[in-house]
Amino acid sequence: MDRAEALGLVKQARVGRLATIGPSGAPHIVPITYALVAGEVAHMVDHKPKTTLDLVRLRNITRDPRASLLVDHYIEDWRALWWVRIDGLARIVADEPGMAGARSALGDKYPQYREEVPEGPAVFLAGETVRWWAAAG
């Protein structure tokens, strides 16, 4: 597998895990929906129930933009296992023009976002490093 194939798997996958760095240096990991937009991973705060909109992931990115997205495929046939990790710098975009691309790409990927449009803010992760592994080589 090469980088393009790894990113193709990321593009098709439905869920990933976003890791940010907490104030103590400990990782904070949450499952997210996402889409690829102009070479970056885009995620938006959406309508799914949350205890607060003051999300830890947003506070962490504001303080320290280093982040990772892990996308993996698990199946009982271990010959089909794979994972892709994208490491880089994340940024938060809260203005309407900046969120439009993320909103559109998420709506294309997830029908739920066509019914209830995410209001944001958006998180963009610029992948500086892409690492991958696949059981099939």
pLDDT at position 12 is 96
* pTM of the full structure: 0.92
The CATH superfamily assigned to 3-134 is Electron Transport, Fmn-binding Protein; Chain A (2.30.110.10)
Which whole number is the average pLDDT over 92-107?
95
Q: How far is CA 69 from the centre of its chain?
A: 5
pLDDT at residue 106 is higher than 90: yes
| Residue ranges covered by each domain of the chain | 3-134
- The rounded mean pLDDT for the chain is 94
pLDDT band at 79 (very low <50, low <70, confident <90, very high): very high
pLDDT in tens, 108-129: 999 999 999 998 899 999 999 9
pLDDT in tens, 32-67: 999 999 999 999 998 775 666 789 999 999 999 999
Residue 84, SS3? strand
